[in-house]
Structures are given as C-alpha cells and as structure tokens.
Amino acid sequence: MENWKISDSGHSTGAGKLLMLLLKLRLGFSFVALMFSIVELTVPAIYQLLVTLDGLQAMVAFLVILSSSLTFLVWLHRFHADLKEVFPEYPITPWGAIARFVIPFYSLWGIWKTLSTFADRLLPEGGDLTSLSHQLRSCIPFLYAFTIISNTLGRIILSSNSREPVSPWLSFLASTVEVGLVLTLLQLTKIMQSALTQKTKRALI
C-alpha cells in the first residue's frame, strides 16, 4: 500500500464542504441581487418600494461574501497540505498558495500558476483525473475574466456612490458578473476537491 498514512478524508474535506455551502448561499444572494437589478431596470416604481429590502439583502450578502472568501483561504491552505501527502514533491506549499492568491499584482501570475500546477499533476494520472485536469484548465480563463471585470465594476460603483446614484445598468452588469464568478468558483472547488479525493483513494490502494 502506497502512502499508508494518508487519510481517506483529508484535512481539506470539511473546509471544502463548508466552502461549497457558503458559495451556494452566495450564489443565491447573487441571483436575488440580479432580480432586484432587473426590477430596477424594468419597473422603477416597484423597485422604489423594495429598495430597503434590496439594501438589507446587500448587507447580508456582503457578510456571506466575506465568510466565503475567508473560508476559501482556509480550504486552499488545507488543500495544499493534503497535496503534499499525495504528491510528496509538490512544489507549492500551503502558505505559498495563499500568497499567490492574495498578494496584489503577484496574484495575476500566482493564481494561474497555482491552478495550472495542480492541473499539470493530474494530467498524466489517466482516467477521470486527466478529464478533471482539462476541466480545471478550462475554468481558469473564466475565473480571471469574471474576477477582473467584477473588481473593475466594484471600483466604479464605489467611486460613483460618492457623486451620484449608481446606474441601474451598472448594477445589473455587476450582479450578472457576480453570478458568473460564483458559478466558476463553485466549479473550481468541486473539480479540485473531487480530484484530490480520487487521487487519495488511488494512493490508499
């Protein structure tokens, strides 16, 4: 038996399940925000009756986004700790992975490097793991696109709040991009955790 010390569940499984739950909750709030923005665009009079409710859901959604972001970092750290057990020579450390995601400018290269390195390790494994490698690589461009657009729109909205009301079209676009971003994060988390689970099971045989 190879790597007999490896736990079948892994350190990242619990954090991964919590992350998936929070991301699904975040996705729900994203859809609600999108619905509010559509009402604001199409029936402004009705939206004025719901504006307080929209503000309330936005505050709760912010807490969910913050919680999911922090949980993602915890999961990312534990995930790479697990990778060190199934790939003893894995080049990215748990803290190194976090640094590649959170350090400004460095993350522009680091996020791609982190995800592509894992995909490269899966590629020669064969079977479902090779398929998951291709799926992971296909998600990377979407993650970059949605993240960059979301950050740009966020800055525009924050700067416009101090001068004039936010355009309903801008709110609609920001909500649409947020839905795409969360769907991408959900898919990434699912693919990565599934790949790690399968690789761990192979190591236990």
Domain boundaries, the chain: 12-204
Q: Is the pTM of this model over 0.75?
A: yes
Residue indicated by tokens 């790939």: 87
Handedness of CA 169, 171, 172, 178 (dihedral sign): positive
Show pLDDT as tens, one digit a residue, over the chain (205 residues).
Answer: 334 344 444 678 889 999 999 999 999 999 999 999 999 999 999 999 999 999 899 999 999 999 999 999 999 999 999 998 888 889 999 999 999 999 999 999 999 999 999 999 998 888 889 999 999 999 999 999 999 999 999 888 877 755 667 788 998 999 999 999 999 999 999 999 999 988 887 766 5
pLDDT digits (tens, 9 = 90+) for 65-89: 999 999 999 999 999 999 988 888 8
Residue indicated by tokens 């291709």: 134
- H/E segment holding residue 143: helix 127-161
CA distance 196 to 151: 30
Rounded-to-10 torsion of CA 23, 161, 144, 35 = 50
